[in-house]
Chains A and B, each alone.
Chain A
Amino acid sequence: MTRTFNEDANAIVVQAYERATGLGHPYLGAEHLLLALSSVGQPAGAILREHGVTPERVEAEIVRQSGGGLFGDLDRGALAAVGVDIDAVRATTEASFGLEALTRAALAVHHKPRWFNPRPAAFAGRDGAYLPLGPGAGQALHGARRQAQARGVTAPFGVEDLALGILAVSEGLAPPILSALGVQGPAMSAAIMDRRHPAG
């Protein structure tokens, strides 16, 4: 069986799990993949950092925009459709209780015992801890595969392929985080493609 991602790309997914766990978030979102990607040594990571998308800034935005992880995995679009602005809920609860209380509550959300692991360990962290995929994460991973196949690339896909999948995500917190850092996904993707296949 061919692995979907090569070793370097898979390391980003594993690191994303570890960053999500470390932040106390009960899910893996595309924003955690972006955080892991922004810290790697490969060209895709370097290009992000050159544009100000550094691990420190991404992490700060994740903490801010997810409300300590308590609201980051909720379906923002569907809530907005019934008139609930999740950013407003986050802002008011954070003002009332503080970010720390929100993070504590986030930790209490998914209290499944650690041995409960409904999926194979392929995308689990190094310790095998399981996190459900939050908004954008599945989109990033599947999108990476689809985009690579459309370019004629075959598995296993590499760091650049995964990066293009992450940058094309439309759900969850990755788009507003990129926006808050003053960059646009498509422009970053173009820069990554240019570096890999220099024109001329």
Chain B
Amino acid sequence: MLTFMESALAITEAASGSDPDTGLRAVAALRELTERLEILQVDNARSRGWTWQQVAARLGVTKQTVHRKHGRRTGRQS
């Protein structure tokens, strides 16, 4: 495993460079990470009794969008 210093060095190098390969892969990975965190956070909010309206407002999307995306999984149709 990389030590902290090594990984910090790697970050600085990559960020200061303009390698499209790393940059584009990072964008794709961030998008995927966002999707995963959304599932986790939406499920948590719903299990705490948040309404779709409340969830949608925080995510900055419509209630319909969030319900279409997560409604079937969390199994609550309200």
Q: How close is A94's CB to chain B, nearest CB, in angstroms?
A: 10
Q: How many contacts between A and B, using CB within 8 angstroms?
A: 74
Chain A interface size band reads 20 to 34
Q: Which of these binds chain B: A8-16, A40-48, A68-76, A152-160?
A: A68-76
C-alpha spacing A75/B32, complex, angstroms: 9
Among B10, B32, B33, the residue within 8 A (CB) of A80 is B10
Residues of B within 8 A of A83 (CB): 11, 15
Q: Is the CB of A109 within 8 A of B44?
A: no
Q: Is the CB of A109 within 8 A of B26?
A: no
Q: Is the CB of A84 within 8 A of B40?
A: no
Given A81-B22, A97-B44, A180-B1; A70-B36 close (CB under 8 Å)? yes
Chain B residue with minimal CB distance to A74? B29
Q: How close is A194's CB to chain B, nearest CB, in angstroms?
A: 26
List the 4 closest A-B pairs by CB distance, nearest first: A81-B14, A78-B25, A78-B26, A75-B29
